[in-house]
Structure 1
Amino acid sequence: MTDAEIIKKINSALAEEFELDLDCMVPEAIFKDDLDLDSLDAVDMVIVLEQEFGIKIKKDESFKAIRSLGDLHKFILNKKDEAV
């Protein structure tokens, strides 16, 4: 799976889970300010992403630093690279 395909999968999964418009799913989007997602939504986000990609996120401290969709893209892409 290419990086672009992974990013598209992330965006689609989150848009579906949180009923967001795909047009809003840009790397600069801040979860709290732009997408209106809070810390409770972050828990759901972890579950969705773990299921979509078959990875473990909960115990990764770097996940707590994610503030934007672009940060999330980089995080998941790095996880993919670690798995290789």
Structure 2
Amino acid sequence: MNKEVIIEKINDFLIDEFEVENDDISPEANLKETLELDSLDFVDLVVSIDSNFGVKLVGEDFINVVTLQDFYNLIENKLK
């Protein structure tokens, strides 16, 4: 799966499942602020990644994730 497909899939479920406005999605956007993540949303995000990509994420995976670009990179690296 190439990076463009990964980004497209992530953006699609952010819009559909987290009701993020398309205009708010950019690589530089802060992940937590854009998604307004609370602990339940975090669980939903992990489940969404697992169901969309077959990738299991744990809390430690998010230590260095600040922006959506960091998140895209995390998923891309987990798929390798």
Q: Deviations over 1:56-78 (max 9, x none)?
A: 112x6232332221111010010
Instruction: Tell me the number of residue pairs that the alignment of Structure 1 and Structure 2 aligns.
Output: 80
Backbone CA RMSD of aligned residues: 1.7
The TM-score normalised by the length of structure 1 is 0.80
Question: Which runs of no fewer than 5 residues in structure 2 stay unpaired?
Answer: none
What corresponds to 1:30 in structure 2?
Answer: 30
What corresponds to 1:49 in structure 2?
Answer: 49
**43 and 64 in structure 1: CA distance in 2 versus 1, 3 angstrom threshold:** farther
What corresponds to 1:70 in structure 2?
Answer: 69
Question: Does the 8 Å contact 1:7/1:73 carry over to 2?
Answer: yes
Q: Deviations over 1:36-73 (max 9, x none)?
A: 23343122101101110011112x62323322211110
1:27 CA drift (Å):
1.0
Identity %: 43
Between Structure 1 and Structure 2, the one with more helix by share is: 2
Question: Which runs of no fewer than 5 residues in structure 1 stay unpaired?
Answer: none
- Runs of 4 or more, structure 1, over 3 Å off, are none
